[in-house]
Each structure stands twice: as structure tokens, then as C-alpha cells.
Amino acid sequence: MNKPYVIGIAGGSGSGKTFFLNCFLAHFTPEEVCLVSQDDYYIPVAHNMTKEENKLYNFDLPSTIDAELFESDISKLMRWETVYQKEYTFNNPDIVPKILEIKSAPIIIVEGLFILHFQKIANDLDMTIFIEADEDIALRRRLKRDLAERGYSNEDAYYKWVNHVVPAYKEYLLPHRNQCDKIVVNNGHVADHIMEVTDQISQELREKVLEGI
């Protein structure tokens, strides 16, 4: 069997990358596509930190990711092997992480902030998709998520945005934007545009990768 077709989906915080992924995955069965997320490769640090230290810790650096394991698991999936990885719980020690079983598939989606920065991973990608949103829209989305899901105050979330999120985006992701195969602007509050874009890309992949399997 031919090697899987590997798609890299990168986007800054608040770009709507998760929504895009969900729309995209809805076009395929679990046997046709698998997803490996950079978030599940954060190096655990919560057990060494106070809550205050956790709020100040910069998670938006490549050094916070176990890049070697991330790269190794992508290579395994490209060899049609199954990967087992502990789910990342955003350094919440009260949550018991699940063990994720990721079965390889003809289409492998790799998503995350640093996937274009990590050169070995970037070299494995057959198609790259860049998701972006205007900064004010991305900030509103980020603040809403951090307040609702991660227990940060508005002040803490804004501190991270200014001091961690935006600098990392500009240094580690934005320089790769113009080399990506597709750039998707995701400023909208309705699904129509993203559904249209994912329809188009999924049809292209079905013709290129899945027909004849």
C-alpha cells in the first residue's frame, strides 16, 4: 500500500482551527482519516507548579513540546502503525488523562502551532493549510475559551495573549504563511464559508488520495 497522504493544518490561537478541523473531519470516515494533534505532546509541567506559576508559564514556545515523540509518532503513522498517546489535559492535575489510540489511515492530519517550525515534521507534509483570523477576532475567541475552559481571569488571559501568544505566532508560524498550499481566512461567525472551503478540499483529496483504495 502507498504511504498515507499527510496534511498539515496550522493556525494561531483563536483562528478557528478547531472548528475548521471538525468541519473537515466530518467529510470522512475514521477509516479514511486520522488526526494527530500537537497539543497532546506538551511536556507535562503541572505537578511542578503552583497555580500562579502555571498562569505565568509560557506554553507558546517550541521547547514546551516533546518534538522528538511527536515526530516519531507521525513517522509510525506514515508506516501504517497505530500510535498510543496520553491525552493532554492542559496541566490540570484534577483530570485523569485518557490514552488515545490513533490508527493510521490513508489521510493523516497533523495540526498545531509549530508543525511548520519543526523541520522534520514540515518535510513530511504533502499539503499545508494555514488558518488565520483578524487579531481582534482571534483575541475575543481566545479570551472566551480561557475564561470558560481553563479558569483564567480576563487579566491573566490577556497577559498571555500579549506576552506569549502573539510573539510566538509572529516568530514561529507567520513566517511560513506564504509557503502554505492553502490559506483560509476564518473571521466569520457562521459555518457557511468554512463548510464551503472544507467541501472543496475534501473533494480534491477524495479524488487524489481515496479513489481506487
Strands (E), the chain: 5-11, 33-37, 83-86, 99-102, 107-111, 127-132, 182-185
120 secondary structure, DSSP code: H
Check pLDDT > 60 for residue 114. Answer: yes
- Ordered by start, the domain boundaries in the chain are 5-207
Q: Which residue has the higher pLDDT, 44 or 171?
A: 171
Check pLDDT > 90 for residue 180. Answer: yes
User: Quick one: pLDDT at residue 146?
Assistant: 74
Q: Which residues pair with 183 in a beta bridge?
A: 130
The Cα–Cα gap between 31 and 107 comes to 9
Check pLDDT > 70 for residue 154. Answer: yes
Mean pLDDT is lowest, of 26-35, 45-54, 99-108, 135-144, for 45-54
pLDDT digits (tens, 9 = 90+) for 95-104: 777 899 999 9
State the CATH class of domain 5-207. Answer: alpha beta
User: Quick one: pLDDT at residue 123?
Assistant: 97
Closest among 164, 25, 204 to 105, alpha carbons compared: 25
What's the pTM? 0.90
Give the torsion through C-alpha atoms of 68, 74, 79, 83, to 10 deg.
90
